[in-house]
C-alpha cells in the first residue's frame, strides 16, 4: 500500500468490470453508511443500498422499486447548503455514495471514483468532529505507516479492490463478503461514537 497514489487507486477502480465496480462501491458505502444512520435514523439509504447489492451480486433488481427508493433517499439526505452543522455534513457525505452508486449502475463510471472516495471524505469530517483533524498536509494516499484509522481504511479498500481485481467471481464472494463490509462500517462507527461531542 505504501506509495500507492490516488491515480493508481482511481485507475484500479475504473478498470474493474461493471458488476465488480458496483460491488466495490457498495462495499465503500457500507463502511460509512452507519454514520448516516447514527445521525439521521432513516432506513431509505439502507434499503437502496441493499437493492444495489442485489444488482451487483445477482444482477437482479426491480427498476420501479429502485426509482422509488432513489426518491425516498434523496429526501432524507441533508442539504449542507441549508444545514451546515457537522452532523449534517457527515450524514450527507456518509449517504451520498449510495446515490453515486446508482449512477454507477446506470453506467457512469466516473461516479465510482466519488463513491469509492466517500469513506475517506467521511472519516476526515469525523476526525474534525472529534477535534482531531487530519493534518492539513496529510497526503491520504501517500502515507500508510501511520496509526491513524484513515490510512488503515485506505489499506482496507485496497485489499477489497485487489480481491475484486483478481479472477474471483462475485458469486464466490457474495454472502460473507457483504457481511464483512457491513461489519467494517459498524466497527468504524463504534470506534468514533464514544468520542463524538455531546449535542
How large is the angle between the packed helices 18-40 and 149-165, nearest 10 degrees? 150
Applying CB under 8 A, which part among 14-22, 43-51, 53-61, 94-102 lies near another protein? 94-102
Please, what is the Cα angle at 55 between 54 and 58, to 5 degrees?
A: 65
Q: Which of 34, 45, 78, 87 binds another protein (CB under 8 A)?
A: 78
Taking the complex as a whole, how short is the minimal distance between the CB of residue 96 and another protein, in angstroms?
6
C-alpha to C-alpha distance for 29 and 147, rounded to whole angstroms? 23
- Of residues 154 and 173, the one with the C-beta less far from another protein: 154
Contacts of 30 (CB under 8 A, 6+ apart): 49, 178, 181, 182, 184, 185
Q: Which of 111, 164, 173, 188 binds another protein (CB under 8 A)?
A: 111
Q: Which of 19, 50, 54, 124 binds another protein (CB under 8 A)?
A: 124
C-alpha to C-alpha distance for 176 and 173, rounded to whole angstroms? 7
Which DSSP letter does residue 194 get? G
C-alpha to C-alpha distance for 199 and 101, rounded to whole angstroms? 31
Applying CB under 8 A, which part among 15-23, 31-39, 81-89, 171-179 lies near another protein? 81-89
Taking the complex as a whole, how short is the minimal distance between the CB of residue 8 and another protein, in angstroms?
12
Question: Which residues within the stretch 5-34 sit at the binding site for another protein (CB under 8 A)?
Answer: 6
Applying CB under 8 A, which part among 27-35, 48-56, 117-125, 182-190 lies near another protein? 117-125
For cell 456518509, the residue is 94
C-alpha to C-alpha distance for 61 and 48, rounded to whole angstroms? 11
180 backbone dihedrals φ, ψ, rounded to 5° = -60, -35
Q: Which of 77, 160, 161, 189 binds another protein (CB under 8 A)?
A: 77
Question: Is 125 near another protein (CB under 8 A)?
Answer: yes
The residues that touch another protein, with contacts defined as CB under 8 A, are 6, 74, 77-84, 86, 89, 92-93, 96, 99-100, 103, 110-111, 113-114, 117, 120-121, 124-125, 128, 133-134, 136, 140-141
Amino acid at each position: 500500500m505504501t506509495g500507492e497514489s490516488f491515480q493508481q487507486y482511481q485507475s484500479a477502480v475504473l478498470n474493474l468490470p461493471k458488476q465488480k465496480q458496483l460491488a466495490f462501491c457498495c462495499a465503500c458505502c457500507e463502511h460509512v453508511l452507519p454514520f448516516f444512520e447514527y445521525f439521521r435514523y432513516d432506513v431509505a439509504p439502507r434499503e437502496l443500498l441493499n437493492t444495489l447489492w442485489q444488482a451487483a451480486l445477482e444482477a437482479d433488481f426491480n427498476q420501479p422499486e429502485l426509482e422509488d427508493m432513489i426518491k425516498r433517499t434523496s429526501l432524507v439526505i441533508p442539504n449542507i447548503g441549508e444545514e451546515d452543522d457537522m452532523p449534517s455534513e457527515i450524514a450527507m457525505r456518509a449517504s451520498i455514495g449510495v446515490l453515486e452508486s446508482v449512477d454507477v449502475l446506470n453506467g457512469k463510471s466516473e461516479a465510482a471514483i466519488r463513491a469509492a472516495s466517500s469513506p475517506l471524505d467521511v472519516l476526515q469530517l469525523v476526525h474534525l468532529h472529534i477535534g482531531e483533524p487530519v493534518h492539513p498536509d496529510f497526503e491520504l494516499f501517500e502515507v500508510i505507516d501511520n496509526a491513524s484509522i484513515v490510512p488503515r481504511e485506505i489499506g482496507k479498500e485496497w485489499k477489497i479492490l485487489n480481491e475484486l481485481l483478481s479472477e474471483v467471481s462475485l458469486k464466490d464472494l457474495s454472502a460473507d463478503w457483504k457481511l464483512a463490509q457491513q461489519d467494517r462500517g459498524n466497527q468504524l462507527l463504534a470506534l468514533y461514537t464514544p468520542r463524538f461531542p455531546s449535542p
